[in-house]
Amino acid sequence: MAVLITGCSTGVGRAAAIALARAGLPVWASARKIDTIADLADQGCRLVRLDVTDEQSRVEAIQTVGTLDALVNNAGYAQAGPVEEVSLDRLRAQFETNVFGAVRLCQLALPAMRERGRGVIVNVGSAGGLIGVPASAAYDMTKWSLEALSDALRMEVRRFGVRVSLLEPGGVVSAFAATQASTWPETVGPYEKFRANHHERMIRYTRPGAPGMSTPEQVAKVVLRAVTARNPKARYKIGPAARVLPLLYRTLPTPFWDAFMRRLFPMT
């Protein structure tokens, strides 16, 4: 079973490549810069350069892998900032990586999977695809898109023997807070205090050992389960945040939910 995993330079993608290789699966680990994953060859992975936003790179990667049994769409990043200040160019870039890259790789992988009558597609979403969080609209919109993509695709390709699963991890220990801070638009206006508060809270909530946080290795175990299961689940919720926050979002009256979010992420 050949598995292609996108975004393996850090975090969940790297951990998943290692976990699947250790389980004896032929793994193709990919990243935009091959030198960032060179050490994964020592873990038993094959390496392929893949920029999920570049069509030539996508086509060449699929051709290099050849027969592909499973695709793990993990590549993605977080764009932070209030809606008023996030430029459309940055928003388009967020969708190019987190959504359109995943969609196009599905399109490239599916014909061969359909012809053989088997295959697995695992999309790595987020609890952010189930709720909206202040300063995370750009990121959350992309993860909401993966919810729709995975639902529609699952029903479309099931009759061809192809299974589709969506992972919904909550907080994952990673460089997420640092990435968000670096992508927040420069501001000295009405959102400056919010920016400082948000960065402080993200560091607190995503640090190792923070309540409810999962490690990349824990998420990787679920990737392995989804790839190898005879009948994988449509959705895998990972960690307390993915279970509790969406429930609160659906059941609390909107004013109470909004007040809860303002307490988590003070804006003044």
Quick check: 12 and 223 in contact, CB under 8 A?
yes
The string of pLDDT tens digits covering residues 69-108 is: 999 999 999 999 999 999 999 999 999 999 999 999 999 9
Integer Cα distance of 217 and 208 in angstroms: 13
| DSSP state letter for 96 | I
Q: Cβ(49)–Cβ(167) under 8 Å?
A: no
Number of folded domains that form the chain: 1
Q: For residues 247 and 241, give the distance between their C-alpha atoms in angstroms, rounded to a whole number.
A: 10
* Domain enclosing residue 111, as ranges: 3-264
DSSP, res 185? P
* Choice among 139, 191, 205, 249 that is catalytic: 139
Contact 73, 102 (CB under 8 A): yes
Question: 127-161 b/e with 16+ CB inside 10 Å = b?
Answer: bbbbbebbbbbbbbbbbbbbbebbeebbeebeeee
CA-to-CA dists, residue 9 to 49, 75, 150, 266, angstroms? 11, 9, 24, 33
**pLDDT of the chain along its 268 residues, tens only?**
799 999 999 999 999 999 999 999 999 999 999 999 999 999 999 999 999 999 999 999 999 999 999 999 999 999 999 999 999 999 999 999 999 999 999 999 999 999 999 999 999 999 999 999 999 999 999 999 999 999 999 999 999 999 999 999 987 876 665 666 678 887 778 998 888 888 887 777 676 766 678 899 999 999 999 999 999 999 999 998 899 999 999 999 999 999 999 998 898 8
- Residue 12 tokens read as 């969940």
Report helix, strand and coil shares of the chain as percent, to nearest 5.
55, 15, 30
pLDDT at 19: 98
CA distances from 247 to 18, 139, 213, 242 (A): 33, 20, 18, 9
Strands across the sheet containing 235-238: 46-49, 27-31, 3-5, 70-73, 119-124, 162-169, 235-238
CA distance 34 to 188: 38
Asked if 236 is an active-site residue, the reply is no
Closest CA to 102 of 147, 158, 40, 47: 147
Token pair in block for residue 57: 């790179």
**Mean pLDDT, the chain, as a whole number?**
92
Distance CA 33, CA 38 (A): 9
Beta-bridged to residue 27, according to DSSP, are 3
Domain of 130, CATH number, reads 3.40.50.720
Report which of 130, 158, 172 is spatially closest to residue 234, judged by C-alpha positions.
Answer: 158
